[in-house]
């Protein structure tokens, strides 16, 4: 559990990655800027960056994934080698997806983790708040979400689960601005979740973080042999990694949202790190993306005590751990799927 292979993020559009022996070289304007041993890497995330055919072929042969994104963090393409997943596990997954009762149960697990972890972010914020009115408002929001959490256990359909998730998200995002330090609230003002495109700095920031973590969730599912396209909560449609989106739900608040608040409150991100486009869209610029990616990678190297395993693990391994727990549940090796619950 202590091994954490790294993902290499390259944000410079004119960079070129090539294979040199057993290393990866990052070339910028024909100058070698970085050289990394290949065995230290398990994935690449490239922002409009080119890669040599030899390196692409080596990644395919070794099972390393390559993800291309545009400069705004939108997923563009993914390359992977031959599918090595356990076909018996995938058959079990497909049968489970056709079982309405079982699909509902798994969707409830994911959303229970999401609501509970979102509540923990608000409760922690209330504990640290020095504004009495805001403290009361945060506690009240957490109570409302607790009510939805209780209702979730009795939900009779996936639509009811999605409705409870949507109401909890509305309550959560209405309260989340109170966790931002007052001096930064003008720059990072927001009232609700918006995307495609994001219309404010905070939504631009969390959308980018969600996209980064979604790639990790998809890789984790493929590693254990599950099909990331076939989910239990998110509806299935061509090109959509529905199960990866399902798995992402329990990590949004404890990993992405908390990191976003930290970057803002420590003044690591400011208005100058965003581009403001015609039509009202707001996106991280090159400098902002580099800051966020560096912080995201540092966050993944931090250790936490996993409440189920009762041992310290790297945050970057959480998607792998939860994907394995989901696979074990689908195989009936364990009685239930326990989402990651932030302490």
Selection from 254, 230, 226, 252 nearest residue 240 by Cα:
230
Instruction: Give domain status of residue 14, yes or no.
Output: yes
Same domain, 142 and 175: yes
The whole-number mean pLDDT for each consecutive block of 10 residues of the chain, a chain of 343 residues, reads 61 85 89 87 82 90 81 72 74 94 95 96 92 94 95 93 95 94 90 85 94 90 88 87 95 96 94 88 90 92 84 88 92 92 84
Same domain, 75 and 173: no
**Do the bridges between strand 15-20 and strand 50-51 make them parallel or antiparallel, or are there none, so unpaired?**
parallel
Quote the pTM value: 0.84
CA-to-CA dists, residue 16 to 28, 80, 304, angstroms:
6, 19, 36
pLDDT of residue 82: 66
Instruction: Give domain status of residue 343, yes or no.
Output: no
* Domain count of the fold of the chain: 2
Same domain, 99 and 46: no
Of 30, 61, 79, which residue sits at a domain end?
79
CATH number at residue 59: 3.100.10.20
Same domain, 120 and 43: no
Per the CB < 8 A criterion, the answer to whether 192 and 216 are in contact is: no
Same domain, 123 and 250: yes
Instruction: Give domain status of residue 216, yes or no.
Output: yes
Q: Which domain holds residue 187?
A: 87-330
Same domain, 72 and 123: no
Same domain, 71 and 140: no
- In a 10 Å sphere around its CB, with 0-12 CB exposed, 13-18 middle and 19+ buried, how is residue 305 labelled? exposed
Of 18, 53, 79, which residue sits at a domain end?
79
CA-to-CA dists, residue 302 to 2, 287, 297, 318, 338, angstroms:
11, 23, 9, 11, 22
Same domain, 45 and 96: no
Same domain, 152 and 272: yes
Which residue is associated with the tokens 């739900």? 249
pLDDT of residue 14: 80
pLDDT of residue 342: 86
């Amino acid at each position: 559990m202590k091994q954490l292979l790294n993902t290499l993020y390259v944000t410079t559009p004119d960079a070129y990655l090539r294979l040199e022996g057993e290393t990866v070289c990052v070339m910028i304007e024909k100058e070698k800027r970085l050289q990394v041993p290949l065995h230290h890497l398990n994935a690449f995330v490239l922002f409009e960056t080119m890669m040599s055919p030899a390196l692409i072929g080596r990644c395919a042969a070794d099972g390393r994934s390559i993800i291309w994104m545009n400069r705004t963090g939108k997923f563009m393409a993914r390359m992977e080698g031959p599918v090595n997943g356990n076909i018996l596990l995938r058959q079990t997954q497909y049968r489970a997806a056709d079982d309405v009762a079982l699909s509902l149960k798994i969707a409830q697990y994911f959303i229970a983790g999401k609501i509970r972890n979102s509540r923990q972010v608000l409760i922690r914020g209330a504990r640290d708040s020095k504004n009495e009115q805001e403290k009361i408002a945060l506690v009240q929001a957490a109570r409302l979400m607790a009510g939805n959490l209780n209702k979730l256990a009795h939900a009779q359909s996936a639509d009811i689960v999605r409705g409870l998730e949507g109401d909890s998200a509305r309550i959560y995002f209405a309260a989340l601005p109170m966790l931002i330090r007052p001096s930064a609230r003008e720059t990072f003002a927001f009232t609700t979740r918006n995307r495609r495109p994001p219309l404010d700095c905070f939504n631009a920031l969390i959308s980018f973080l969600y996209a980064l973590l979604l790639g990790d969730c998809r890789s984790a599912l493929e590693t254990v042999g599950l099909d990331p396209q076939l989910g239990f909560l998110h509806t299935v449609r061509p090109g959509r990694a529905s199960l990866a989106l399902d798995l992402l739900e329990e990590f949004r608040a404890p990993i992405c949202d908390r990191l976003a608040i930290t970057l803002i409150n420590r003044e690591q991100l400011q208005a100058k790190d965003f581009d403001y486009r015609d039509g009202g869209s707001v996106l991280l610029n090159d400098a902002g993306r580099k800051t966020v990616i560096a912080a995201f990678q540092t966050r993944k190297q931090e250790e936490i005590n996993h409440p189920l395993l009762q041992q310290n693990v790297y945050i970057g391994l959480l998607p792998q751990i939860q994907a394995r727990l989901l696979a074990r549940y689908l195989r009936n090796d364990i009685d239930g799927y326990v989402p990651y619950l932030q302490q």
